[in-house]
Structure 1
Amino acid sequence: MSRSLRHGAFAATALVFSIAALSACSAGNDAQTLQVRPDNAATAVDSIKIQNLNIVTQPEPDAEGPAVIAATLFNDGPKREVVETIALPGTNATVALKPAKGKGPLVVPAGGRLIIGGKDNASAVIENGRQAGANGNVQNVAFTFSETGEVSLGAAIVPATSFFKDFGPSALPSAKPTPSDSASGTPGASETPGEQSGSPSGEATDTAPPADGAAAEH
């Protein structure tokens, strides 16, 4: 083999190793394929499929308020399925179900799907969010369907941040001040100690009509 051919073979071999090395680096911890949302709970029983199940709590760890269940339900059967109840076994939590529009049950149409959680979708609200469990834990969630019966699976408990921000619950409104809190400017409060001491019982000062100058000012 001539010298030029040998150099060409070495160059081709080096190129192959370089591509392999770059490919290995791209599959490391910083590879784009790893920068994806982790898998969420999913299961299938008969014609029902449940995907992307999570319990979403308040964004702040110490915040009071409800939590919500987020999931997508699929119905591959010939009949519609009604979500009769959603429960959290082993807890005292109750889950209130509400359709996307109007009143009535949560229905998974035949050959269709039902999205629970998020704007303009059906909702499943846990009024006392702390009863759902602590963030990072897994809580069993039991769905009861009209045709399929009970379907249970574990759901991750996550705060309403990052991917789950748009699926999170509303925080409780801050407490408004009561009338007693704001009624600090009573007539007696504006009086000076000397004026109060001049009227031992306080009745004469409270019932006296306003002076002419005060009336003119008003």
Structure 2
Amino acid sequence: MSRSLRRGVLAATVLTLSVASLSACSAGNDAQTLGIKPDNAETSVGDIKVQNANVVTQPDLKAKGPAVVTATVFNNGAKDQKLDSITLPGTGQSAELSPAKGAKGPLTVPAGGYLVLGGKGNASAVLANGREAAQDGNAQPVTFSFSRTGKVQLPALVVPANGYFKDFGPEVVPQPGTTPSGTGQPSESGKPSESGKPSESGKPTESGKPGEPAGQGEEAHAGH
């Protein structure tokens, strides 16, 4: 093989490796698209599939308070299933389940349908002490219990309610130094005015009779 041909083969090989490296950098968990919508945990057991499971904590990393479990649950079976509970094994934490706005009763995953947890107007799963139970950045085991399938467990990513998760987070806890509206604290206009103080004429006098000038009682007595 001539020297010029060998150089051409080498250049083509380097170019191929460079393209392959760039392709690898744009795929998988390190893809730039994760800045828009990150990869989330999912698993399937029987007819149930749990997708996009996360534990979303307070947006401020120092704030304590509730967290929420978000997920989409699919039911590929021919019968409805109830979501009985969501727990965090090893923490003693159990989520309070509430139906979507305007709905009543237990959370149900309809046959051939799905149930969305988290987000405005959807069903919710609230962890009262979320910060104590889950640490941001961890993969927190979460167990979903269904009426027919039973327990479905998967590791859910723990993230603060920022960026993509801003609209899926828990109720925000007021931070120190801030005063929530409607606290009932008196405004400047609510302070007693000068006109609200007792007048001088209302003070007890030496005669002991309110509103009577000093000495007037003695003169009246002397006249008698």
State the partner residue of 1:165: 166
**2:111 alignment partner in structure 1:** 110
Residue 102 of structure 2 corresponds to residue 97 of structure 1: no
CA deviation digits over 1:102-122, x for unaligned, max 9? 222211111222121123322
The structure that has the greater radius of gyration is 2
How far apart in 2 are the matches of 1:184 and 1:39?
54
What letter is aligned with 2:84? E
Letter aligned with residue 100 of structure 2: A
Alignment of 1:131-146 (within 5 A): 131-146=132-147
Tell me how far apart the structure 2 counterparts of residues 206 and 96 of structure 1 sit (CA, whole Å): 64
Change (3 A) 1:203 1:32: same
Instruction: Show structure 1 runs of 5+ residues with no match.
Output: 192-201, 209-218
Contact 2:89 2:141 in 1 (8 A): yes
Over aligned residues, Cα RMSD in angstroms? Answer: 3.2
TM-score (norm 2): 0.69
Alignment of 1:165-204 (within 5 A): 165-172=166-173, 174-176=179-181, 177-179=183-185, 185-187=191-193, 204=199
How many residues align? The count is 191
Aligned to 2:218: none
Partner of 1:130, secondary structure, is helix
Match of 2:208 in 1: none
Q: Secondary structure at the match of 1:118?
A: coil
Residue 32 (str. 1) matches residue 26 (str. 2): yes
Q: Is the counterpart of residue 20 in structure 1 residue 23 in structure 2?
A: no
TM-score of the two chains, using structure 1 as the length reference: 0.70
Counterparts of 1:186 and 1:43 in 2: how far apart (Å)? 65
Q: C-alpha distance in 1, partners of 2:86/2:99?
A: 13
